[in-house]
Amino acid sequence: MSLSKKQIKFLRAKCHALKAVIMMGQKGLTDEVLNELEIALTHHELVKIKLSVDDREVRKQMIAEICEKSQSEEVQSIGKTLSVYRVNPDRAIIELPSK
């Protein structure tokens, strides 16, 4: 699933008011973090994640890994904060604008 620029802009506006639901520690992307991310994405669809990695290259790799393993789309990444989106196939919570 890929998002159009219009949809990303819409989701960025929505995630502005969100607080980080998941905090990733120094251990990185553990099974526990993935389980919590799965629960949060299923329940909210749009989730903000706080990363505690200082190195930009490592952070980029971690963002790619998070999106791949959770099957979500990166909406926005500012500093150490990442916003991801994944539609809930059972019940869509956020109604995206058409592409």
Query: What's the rounded Cα separation, in Å, for the pair 38 and 71?
Result: 9
Sorting pLDDT into bands at 50, 70 and 90, what band is 75? very high
Q: Is residue 96 part of a domain?
A: no
Residue burial 17-56, b: 16+ Cβ < 10 Å; e: rest: eeeebbebeeeeeeeebeebbeebbeebbbbbbebebeee
CB atoms within 10 A of CB 6: 12
- Digit-coded pLDDT (tens) for 51-62: 998 899 999 999
For the stretch 5-43, pLDDT in tens is: 999 999 999 999 999 999 998 888 899 999 999 999 999
13 assigned to some structural domain: yes
The answer as to whether 46 is a domain residue is yes
- Domain containing 13 equals 5-85
Asked whether residue 92 is domain-assigned, the answer is no
Task: Report if residue 99 sits inside a domain.
Answer: no
Is position 49 within any domain? yes
pTM above 0.75, yes or no: yes
Instruction: Return all residues near 85 (Cβ < 8 A) that are at least 6 apart.
Output: 3, 11, 45, 46, 47, 72, 73, 75, 94
Q: How many structural domains are present in the chain?
A: 1
Any domain includes 93? no
CATH number of the domain at 24, please.
3.30.110.60
Average confidence (pLDDT) over 76-80: 95
Q: Which residues pair with 49 in a beta bridge?
A: 22, 82
Does 76 map to a domain? yes
